[in-house]
Structure 1
Amino acid sequence: MNNWNIKRLNGLAIALFLAFLLYSSPAIAAPTTAGAQLFEVHCAGCHANGGNIIRRGKNLKQKALQRNGVDTLAAVTEIVTNGKNNMSAFRDRLSPEEIETVAAYVLNRASENWKN
């Protein structure tokens, strides 16, 4: 095996190792778990499975988030923090970190169409 192939294999091994660390790290899994727990306690009553029991068009599905201009972390965080129309504000109930965690969870689930 020549020197170039060895360097390529080493680079591939490092990339695989980093991917393993990224996807198996408890530190990465924790926000998703925390986001799911926060969502279940504070949001699922109105937004079960990304829906909306009050206003159907204001659900948490990807298309609706895009259509309503709420498809970024900053936008979701803003609405969770300050509320909007029928949506209650959570700034007095959740910390800024918790709000960002649940907002990231919502965007992640929306990107997966709220499927397990």
Structure 2
Amino acid sequence: MSRVASIVSGAALVLFGAGCFVVPSMPRSAPEQGVRSVAATESTKSFTATESSSWSPLAIGAAFGLLAAVVTAQPVLAADLENGEAVFQGNCTACHAGGNNSIVAEKKLKKDALVTYGKYDVGAIIKQVTNGNGSMPAFGDKLGPDDIEDVANYVYNKADKW
């Protein structure tokens, strides 16, 4: 439902924004009869040239660009769980497939084991992944901070489902 609301509000914003850039057209009047100076004629020509355009291509492009950005936007999350899953699959499943631990069997990634060892916290998982401990190697040099945060959030969210 929130996606529909954001699309509708984005479309309203686009239409309002486009209206701000569109110059309203004014009906042209016939030139007055009589003698005029050259300067007056030139100023009239430049004034009517700016009046003749009722739709600005720049405004239309900006409106469509904003609409495309609103429609295709994804909500910003503190952690990207899809990236966390990919990082986990690429770096952690060799020892932690299915939330288990093939090296030290009792130190699983399941919620009860994480609670027992004081690791059922995203910050504690980030510290473990970054620095390593015991037989677990440190990944602080191999993975970037965003990837470590993403994989820690993935493990935290997956711990009670394994």
Normalized against structure 1, the TM-score is what? 0.73
Query: Which residue pairs with 2:103 in the alignment?
Result: 54
Residue 17 (1) aligns with residue 2 (2): yes
Flag the 1:49–1:26 CA change in 2: closer, same or farther, 3 A: farther
- In the alignment of these two chains, the number of paired residues is 93
1:100 is the counterpart of 2:154:
no
Cross-structure match for 2:80: 31
Shift of 1:17: 2.6
Compute the RMSD of aligned alpha carbons.
Answer: 2.0
1:55 Cα deviation (Å)?
0.6
Look up the match of 1:74: 123
User: How many Å apart are 1:27 and its aligned residue?
Assistant: 4.4
Q: After TM superposition, which residue ranges in structure 1, 4 or more long, deviate above 6 angstroms? A: none
Cα distance in 1 for partners of 2:148, 2:157 equals 14
Q: Secondary structure at the match of 1:108?
A: helix
Match of 1:85 among 128, 134, 142: 134
CA shift, 1:33, in A, is 1.0
SS in 2 for 1:84: coil
**2:147 partner SS:** helix
| Matched residue SS, 1:80 | helix
Q: Distance between the aligned counterparts of 2:141 and 2:155, measured in 1?
A: 20
Relative to total residues, which structure has the larger helix share, 1 or 2?
Answer: 1
The code of the aligned residue for 1:60 comes to L
